[in-house]
Structure 1
Amino acid sequence: MTDPELDHALTRHTDYGQLPLTEDAIAPDPIEQFRRWLADADDAGVYEPNAMVLSTIDADRLPSSRTVLLRTVDEHGFEFFTSYTSAKGRALVVHPHVSIVFPWYTIHRQVIVRGTAVPTTPEISDAYFASRPRGSQIAAAASDQSQPIASRDLLEDRVRELEELYAGGEVPRPATWGGFRVTPSSFEFWQGRSSRMHDRLRFTRQAGSWQLERLQP
């Protein structure tokens, strides 16, 4: 038996429009171009425009993907924060090469970034942890991210214990929590077009400079 609504969702076709992405209009620096598109996504009301799908390879050489939030982008790369002992944290220690996808579906755009992730300095991790809401600080300290737990109640008990422990004082950054910086080696900017004739422009890092090429849709 088939589900008509599901069948429709799987087979419907969307016209992505005729907004072009051309070589003469794109910024010569892919980080600058990314900043432009991130601002466009924010202006267009895309939900969590800084959300990115991070893909890693673990010690068993198995792929894994999850959504994390971009916190900083500058000329040095992309920064996000997590538990170093989480599944992604452990994977990045073994295989630091990553792929990142920014899926801005509602404006028919996507950016794929490939690069290498390394931990940020403790000073950067400290500064960002201190800027987080207190509840998020407590949660980071309470959770052994990615590890099994018998019940939600046990986790909430741990949160209450830490709230009492740090009542009236600062919450210290856990030693196992901090940032990663992804240094990009390539960018692909995808702009949806009608009849699936999408525009795809890719930057790759070669001999210290960015080289641009067009990919077929």
Structure 2
Amino acid sequence: MAERAIEAVVLDVYGTLFGFGRLAERARAIVGDLPLLDHWRTKQLEQSFLRTILGEYVDFWKVTEEALDAVCAQLELELMPEEREHLLHGWLELDPFPEVRGALELLRERGQRLAVLSNGSPAMLESLLQHAELDTLFEVVLSADAVRRYKPSPAVYALAPAALVVPPERIMFCSANGFDVAGALRFGFQVCWVNRGNTRLDALGKQPHFTVHSLLELVEYL
């Protein structure tokens, strides 16, 4: 069981609720075996971190566009405008991991309040959740856009207790991303690392309260 009674479960989106398989297929169809998506995702995160440090905010859609253009330049890859648009649009049509819907429904049935907290822009999150038909499962969808900074800035995590009116120590925050786990722990959430890839956690030596490989395991803990 959790260390203290959990009143709400707050979840990251990219890599946690949604995988990148469909987007990887789009990339392969256009560029073959070039590691475009891996570099794109890395550059997307790098630029979000850098913009937060420098105080030069643009929304996550713009970050995603800029990251794609930067990686294409590095790889000396020229995309047709329609190819570029097709890749970008893929961020709005990612597939949720297979157990996600069932796990969220079980959590709701057990009285847990559910929320999303993501770096994604409001428009990106709305489109993605509606496309996956998951939007009705969440009480609130929180975007880093509200504070014009990106995770792991504490200002982003502070959105959740403020919106839910629940203290951080009674919120279970779930993420598959090491930087997110580290930021959430520092903020004071109870934290569940969703280890989707059976990898080692890179969270500055910090350890989550729980580690699961599927959100269904989290249901058992709570």
Range class of TM-score, shorter chain: under 0.3
User: Would you tell me which structure has more helix in proportion to its own residues?
Assistant: 2
TM-score normalised according to structure 1 size: 0.24
User: Would you tell me which structure has more strand in proportion to its own residues?
Assistant: 1
Using CA pairs below 8 Å that are at least 6 residues apart, which structure has the higher relative contact order? 2
Q: Which has the larger radius of gyration?
A: 1
TM-score normalised according to structure 2 size: 0.24
